[in-house]
Amino acid sequence: MAIHNYIKQKCNVDDAFQTAEDERYIPSVDSEFGSSSNTNNEENNMEEQNDTYWMGLRDMIANEIGMDIGHCHLDGNADAVEFCPHESFQNVLAACTYTLQEGDQPGRTGSISLFDVDANLSRLSLIHRVQTAGIFDIKWSPIGGIVGPLLAQADADGYVRVHKLESCLDESQVPGNSLLEISDEHVSSSMCLCIDWNPSATSLAVGLSDGTVSIISFLESQLSISRDWKAHDFEVWAASYDIHQPQLVYTGSDDCKFSCWDLRDDPSNIAFQNRKVHTMGICCITKSPNDPYTILTGSYDEHLRVWDVRSTAKPLSKLKATKLKWLKPITNMAPWHMEQIGKEVV
């Protein structure tokens, strides 16, 4: 088990992890299309095939990890980690934290740390850190947008903030070694839990802890609330633009509803909503970069689901891994691999 062995070798694992290691880890892959008429031998063969697909995915992720380039203890609980996608800055890794401060003066604090990553030299160097409110999510502006590398944050104080990645003119230092905040907007008294850029980097979708979704415009380096609406009954942990049809925004929540909103209409009119499939809260949504109709969801019910947005009554397939807790990073790392696995299993 590539990932389990990697974690076991490089981290101080707890008793629960060790117990899981001692067991035979066999995730299952299910279809949502009802029971099968296969014989027992056929079912066993399918289970072996499914295990092979899932093992292949985990080995692919292990290959993405490759080796222990470096490690660093952050100053809080890590909530999001993102490499900058922009040319000349792809060595820059951003990590954000959230820490609940208890005691006489309770609060939620956090930070954004920038690292220079050099795989060839096996180097992970901290180059910049800024103290902030507790941060739940960060996103780099997309390639092809009208702006350069920007980092947006969604924080516990109800703010959206945008930072510019600045190059250092000193050749002895790493380019892009600092963040400069260029704009902020107080969205709500509720906490901002998730954030996503549209493909042109002119607006952001934000999910809030009171179930609201806000669309924030970003024009001439200024943030302003464009619209908001009550989208869910509980916390919105996932809000994602459709990269192929940017007028669509997908949202997921602790109310187990997977929703799509068309921004050309009144947001109270849902383009679609599935409230039956997810048995626990939806924690991430990601669109395939290659297929305009394929989207994936990750849930606290420990399933990754592959959907065709043209028919959302049932997902195309789902993958379950009962020992796997990190659904969000895996979904974001390899959506197209998951998509292919889902099609083969179905």
Q: Which of 76, 64, 233 is nearest to 155 (CA)?
A: 76
- Structural domain including 110 reads 72-345
Amino acid occupying residue 18: Q
The mean pLDDT value for 251-280 works out to 92
- The answer to whether position 56 is within a domain reads no
Sequence-ordered list of residues with C-beta below 8 angstroms from that of 304, at least 6 positions apart, any chain: 296, 297, 298, 318, 319, 327, 330, 331, 338
- The answer to whether position 16 is within a domain reads no
Give me the residue label for tokens 């906490």: 191
**Between 283 and 321, where is the model more confident?**
283
Sequence-ordered list of residues with C-beta below 8 angstroms from that of 170, at least 6 positions apart, any chain: none
Residue 256 and residue 280: Cα distance in Å, rounded? 6
Model confidence band, residue 173 (pLDDT cutoffs 50, 70, 90): low
Q: Is 335 helix (H, G, I), strand (E, B) or coil?
A: helix
Q: Is the pLDDT of residue 73 over 90?
A: no
- The answer to whether position 269 is within a domain reads yes
Tokens of 74: 């952050």
Average pLDDT, the chain: 79
221 touches 201 (CB < 8 A)? no
The mean pLDDT value for 206-215 works out to 97
Q: Which of 239, 272, 232, 228 is nearest to 255 (CA)?
A: 232
Count the domains in the chain: 1
- The answer to whether position 325 is within a domain reads yes
Beta bridge partners of 155: 135
The mean pLDDT value for 324-345 works out to 42
Residue 177 and residue 165: Cα distance in Å, rounded? 7
- The answer to whether position 159 is within a domain reads yes
Is the Cα dihedral 326, 328, 329, 334 positive or negative? Answer: positive
The CATH number assigned to the domain holding 332 equals: 2.130.10.10
The mean pLDDT value for 72-85 works out to 90
Let me know how many helices (H) and strands (E) the chain has, helices first.
5, 21
- The answer to whether position 229 is within a domain reads yes
- The answer to whether position 94 is within a domain reads yes
Q: DSSP string of 136-198? A: EEEEEPPTTSSSSSEEEEEETTSEEEEEEEEPPS-TTS-SS-EEEEEEEEE--SSPEEEEEE-
- Other CB atoms within 10 Å distance of the CB of residue 306: 24
- The answer to whether position 187 is within a domain reads yes
Model confidence band, residue 2 (pLDDT cutoffs 50, 70, 90): very low
Q: Is 223 helix (H, G, I), strand (E, B) or coil?
A: strand
